Amino acid sequence: MFQTMRWFGPEDPVSLADIRQSGCAGVVTALHHLAPGEIWTTTEISKRKKIIEDSGMDWPVIESLPVHEDIKRKNGSYKKYIDHYKQSLRNISQCGIPVVVYNFMPILDWIRTDIRFPMPDTSLALRFERLAFISFDLFLLKRPGAEKDYTEKERLASGIFLKSMTKEARELLYRNVLLGLPGTKEPFTEKQILEALKTYEGIGPNELQQNLMEFLQNVVPVAEEVGIKLAIHPDDPPNPVLGLPRIVSTEKNIMELLNKVPSPANGLCFCTGSLGARADNDLVGMIQRLGDRIHFLHLRNTRRDGEGNFYEADHLDGDTDMYAVVKEIILLMRRKGKAIPMRPDHGHQMLDDTNKSTYPGYSAIGRLRGLAELRGLELGINRSL
């Protein structure tokens, strides 16, 4: 696999030199200083690319080129923003970057209720606790109509859960859930979230899926024309949140969107963490069936239970059989005759990184550990085949 790490740009506490020392051949990044919907110019892209190449690495994947909320809702200036997206793809192609990741999750990106969940070895992981999230939704955010999304048992249990929390714990839960998007520093406010949720009234999974298909029907031909592979990232967590539909959570979801726009340019960012948080996703089988459309890999592991809770486990220790996954990826790459870009995702905060301020899941040493484990696993499998 072509080994990379995510880098959030010149202000990232984890420097390009740090990533280079980890043994990575490249980084995946984005122009986080540009607002969603802005056109990425060749000047801005080339400036960022030169910084990366001067560090001795490549930029094989853009993560991510954001999809404006107007496009997801199919309202407002969505046609203008689709045109901007197409122009950005043309400019990205001129700069020689072959893969573009995006997601179609409304408003929020990935969500966790605890960003410092203590592991047995005292490192810190990311965790999603469903009861904590329900408590946030019902009693802290006080989303109108939220009670309809939960059973009576869940509502009662969440009320008891909230009463057991200190004021400080409630404030921490609130901040954790409303973290800003990756690459940003500002968390969402209650007002921002509640106002944004109103804009999705009347948009269910069918409507959101139709909007995604219209977006793809517009941008995929451009991507195919200029030689770019689009890779959609699955939903995280892979189920509806805050009353918002999520439509890229299962193999059936993914197969449908790939089949409806049957172009090699319409592909997938295969995230073993997002997909692995659901027990009904057969990851090895998905690689076998979707492999030709997998353009980028996020390798991480989760440990889940039957209540909808999960935490980020060590890369080789979770519910996902990472040996079987990496072996299938190696077989896929041999069939394709080329390496697929990958990155270790959501490492634990550990060693002296516990005292540093980085975006949750993206401290250096935890990701380095994950990369080293995955690198060794790949080498061992390759030697055994």
Query: What ranges make up the beta strands (E) of 331-380?
Result: 341-344
Radius of gyration of the chain (CA): 20
256 with 285: CB under 8 angstroms?
no
Residues that are catalytic: 233, 271, 298, 345-346, 362
For 383: left if phi > 0, alpha if psi spans -120 to 50, otherwise beta; the answer is alpha
Among 104, 87, 89, 161, residue whose Cα is nearest residue 129: 161
Distance from CA of residue 269 to its chain's centroid? 9
Backbone angles phi, psi at 256, to 5 degrees: -65, -45
303 with 310: CB under 8 angstroms?
yes
Rounded to whole angstroms, the Cα distance separating 121 from 118 reads 8
Strand pairing partners for 310?
128, 304
44 with 31: CB under 8 angstroms?
yes
CA distances from 239 to 110, 151, 271, 379 (A): 11, 16, 15, 35
Among 284, 290, 289, residue whose Cα is nearest residue 326: 284
